[in-house]
Structure 1
């Protein structure tokens, strides 16, 4: 058995697909210490630069003093703290829904929502570039799993129109984590209303970054009616929010269904209440600090301008996720290693995370990046083209 595992690992390494962990020895920031060396980092999802914010650190201390460090039980067996409850109410109001429910992670939220709302007699419709957690959730639900080409709403409509499932559930990323593009939310909402389908919107990479006051992708349209009754909204709290966790927001009947049936909510210890206390501070900063999103927008423009002459092209994205498409796995790793030698961290993303032949560098921008940081990355990438 172990010989077979070793062969599989060797094969992955030969294909340039083996992954390795590195040890972070500093707080998460635009400049970090990794394995004993200082780097300029374009590798985290700390889009607003909040992960090491002084106000959040202060709130952590206050939260620990007030609530201790562990929940000690699941939400349904006396682990549901007043801190959790207050945060859920704040998140629901911020996202524009009647109710919200905290989950430990975005992965657990998607698993819980999908398996609670769909089963053997139902059909799930999914964008082919969805996050792995959405795909795994669909498989676990045992519903019919129907995938459509990336952002191809004509195919989605055709499949919605021809299914005879008891319940229809469309699941999609709002911002696609490896592409950086944004789903056409208004059209998806309209399609789901037309065919009486639920829509699960995974806004892990839009919450805090996009829309009015960082309220997420649903606020991009500027329309108040986009918060349809058929939407279940999921967002994570460890990316732009800078802390940890996730939440689902929806109509009250949906949230109550999740409390009763979402196994990844019911059968796990609640997150430490102090995290919820910190997130209340994070939520205020997201709402108030418009300058952070303005800094991000400037960084995106500067990066695009600085990489125009490269032989590799940035995929079309207006978000902090700026994928530089390389194609070949080994070449992507070579460029990533070349940047690392220059003191810059940009991860190479390879199959199965992205399709075969679509290896890329995933450049993640933060409001904490300064103009000289963007300039440094652009210069290093342009230097690496000389070695092609």
Structure 2
């Protein structure tokens, strides 16, 4: 098969299914609204849970930092791309989250890939939650380690697998708050099991950091647990982009030597690093926003009353409505957008397991009671067409 046939055949094959993906070029957005082709919609698809991306102090810091540093770092951090702004952010993250070291990465995907592929090899084994993020699953494959997926949020499943002896190192990986389901991992139980079997625990807390825990310290803080490796990303509650790995000094030194994503990628712009330091200060002082978000979550759940859609058990900002059928999921998303001016994207396989297509509702501290009422009324107005 030649290149042209390969591309056309696979594109056509995907178009014939109900999992064809499309991108929408929006005009602008914030945590509450999104503008598309000149029309404004209520936005229930943003991960900017606290509305930090439009915080005035954060925006002012970004502007002044660009004037100071320019728009880019112009190199890897191993060449000239590591500045005082990067160093200060690493120090602030480590102090805030209780670690000796942190390392900055260009994305959460890169951080997960880099840690797992650098630390683990064919003689080691990895146990990961069955619903772990694609970046984690792919990293396990690339590491050539033996890996198994334990049942979602099931410590007994993990213990059953991990108790068999191994010659190499053992790493247990989970998300803190699961991105598609919104539920929280039983971090304390997983940590006790890893300790018992001399394994390390790695938490990807992309959707927990900034939102839950004291001063927004994330999922692990709820359980008063400090996993050996903590991944935090800046594209959700931080309202920006990038990521960091929190770890001990030896792990950091090892990654500086061997983590290919760290060594061979241009580092984040110093202006971004300095802005992220300001965002940490804002997050620490965002108790009111976290309380408002908590109120919005409870209000949505207490007033949800749809007979044909089951509400998940999530108590976080991620409130998925499991539809199951891909076509019906698309129908609901289109109805909300075209008829009710509400922006909620459908999530379908392979992002989620087969027969679990869903409307992934995300709530923000910026949402008002009337916004949530509009969403609930719109959901009640929808009738599935089989």
Aligning the two structures, in what range does the TM-score lie when normalised by the shorter sequence? over 0.9
SS at match of 1:368: coil
Say whether residues 1:272 and 2:274 are aligned partners.
Answer: no
Residues of 1 paired with 2:119 and 2:293: CA distance?
36
Segments of structure 1 that go 5 or more residues without pairing to the other structure are none
> How far did residue 55 of structure 1 move?
1.1
SS at match of 2:364: coil
8 Å contact kept, 2:31–2:49 = no
Segments of structure 2 that go 5 or more residues without pairing to the other structure are none
Matches within 5 A, 1:290-301: 290-301=287-298
Matches within 5 A, 1:171-190: 171-190=173-192
Residues of 2 paired with 1:353 and 1:22: CA distance?
18
In structure 2, the CA distance between the partners of 1:186 and 1:16, relative to structure 1 (3 Å rule), is same
2:79 aligned to which of 56, 74, 77: 77
> How far did residue 78 of structure 1 move?
1.7
> How far did residue 102 of structure 1 move?
0.5
1:227 maps to: 226
1:361 aligned to which of 359, 362, 381: 359
Residues of 1 paired with 2:39 and 2:97: CA distance?
40
Residues of 2 paired with 1:64 and 1:209: CA distance?
27
1:337 aligned to which of 334, 354, 376: 334
Per mean C-alpha deviation after superposition, the further-off stretch among 11-20 and 267-276 is: 11-20
8 Å contact kept, 1:111–1:134 = yes
> How far did residue 16 of structure 1 move?
1.0
8 Å contact kept, 2:176–2:184 = yes
1:127 maps to: 129
> How far did residue 387 of structure 1 move?
6.4
> How far did residue 5 of structure 1 move?
2.5
In structure 2, the CA distance between the partners of 1:105 and 1:191, relative to structure 1 (3 Å rule), is same
Residues of 2 paired with 1:285 and 1:64: CA distance?
19
8 Å contact kept, 1:175–1:205 = yes
Say whether residues 1:236 and 2:233 are aligned partners.
Answer: yes
> How far did residue 10 of structure 1 move?
2.7
| Alignment deviations for residues 222-255 of structure 1 (CA, whole Å, 9 cap, x no partner) | x3xx225xx1000101110111110010111111
Runs of 4 or more, structure 1, over 3 Å off, are: 385-388
Residues of 1 paired with 2:366 and 2:4: CA distance?
45
2:99 maps to: 97
> How far did residue 309 of structure 1 move?
2.9
8 Å contact kept, 2:129–2:149 = yes
1:162 maps to: 164
1:352 maps to: 350
Residues of 2 paired with 1:108 and 1:237: CA distance?
13
RMSD: 1.3
Residues of 2 paired with 1:320 and 1:384: CA distance?
23
